[in-house]
Amino acid sequence: MKLVFAGTPDVAVPTLRELIDSSDHDVVGVITRPDTTSGRGRKAVRSEVGVVADAHGIEVLTPRRMSDPEVVETLERWAPDLGVVVAYGGLIPEPVLDLLPHGWINLHFSILPAWRGAAPVQAAIAAGDEITGASVFALEAGLDTGPVYGTLTAPVRSTDTAGDLLARLADSGSGLTRAVVDGIEAGELSPVPQDRDGVSHAAKITVDDARVRWDLPAHIVDRTVRAHTPSPGAWTRLGDLRLKLGPVSPADDDPNVPGPLEPGRLAVTKKAVFVGTGSGPVRLSTVQAPGKKAMNAADWARGTRLDENGRLA
């Protein structure tokens, strides 16, 4: 089957590779977000998906919007049978959805109808879900509302960051997507409408969402940090300094915690840094000060002039 692939970041790459490596299908074109600029020279930086497409000699289209006339013109020239979308980063309008004979399918990183929206993995960790998964569904005008072709499940480990979990789902979801494409070509699959019950939404994350609130219980602080790691990165303030934090671990039973700690209050030992929360303390793993690399929390504390009233906020 002739396919067009739309995706942008690294989590979309496993599925693109899976389809390129398939001897049964032909990826005739790739649509990805426009190049960004980075570094002192403001050099153009290709998306991860664009880099893979270039390496395989696949034509790449980088429209600012999927409603741009060049999108329709290019799709008519490529003449794909089916579109596959993974983390493209933009909405596909109805005229484009209706253009392909088999429509478009989307790999979404949740068990739909749970966590429709831009940040399903982050939402699952923040909510304390023990099971999550991935779904391949038929795109329609509504946000992640289309009927589902197939689903897989995966455990959420107690130490998972959003980056860890998303990487696992991206790998396993690539095989699911390939199987769905095979099934559509064979005429063996019919998508099933989503349940009306159990709908939840996962809005796009902002930097403000990633600020740690130390007055919340330790297990919520733990989830908040893991849900925002590595991007945009959990953060807090020490005086005027904004610090980026690595994952924390609840330390209720740690005998090295020097007494009760108020929310945000720091306690430093030779080998560890603890912070009080709304319940018990947590132990910091890494701290990254502005303009510096992330470092072990105890090493950071030794190099920082912390007074006895040191407190994160």
| Residue list for the binding site for (6S)-5,6,7,8-tetrahydrofolate | 110-113
d(CA 102, CA 100): 6
Start-to-end CA distance of the chain, whole Å, equals 55
The Cα–Cα gap between 145 and 61 comes to 26
Tokens 């303009």, residue located: 291
Rounded Cα distance between 52 and 145, Å, is 29
Say which amino acid occupies 138: A
Only one residue has tokens 């989830």, namely 223
Spatial CA neighbour of 224 closest among 241, 246, 255, 239:
246
* Residue 203 tokens, joined: 């809005």
- The number of angstroms, rounded, from the C-alpha of 143 to the middle of its chain's C-alpha atoms is 17
Cα separation of 186 and 136, whole Å?
17
CA distance 83 to 2: 9
Q: Is residue 173 within 8 Å of 152, Cβ to Cβ?
A: yes
Known binding residues are 110-113
Query: What CA–CA distance (Å, rounded) separates 80 from 42?
Result: 35
C-alpha separations of 141 from 144, 147, 190, 225 in Å: 9, 12, 19, 33
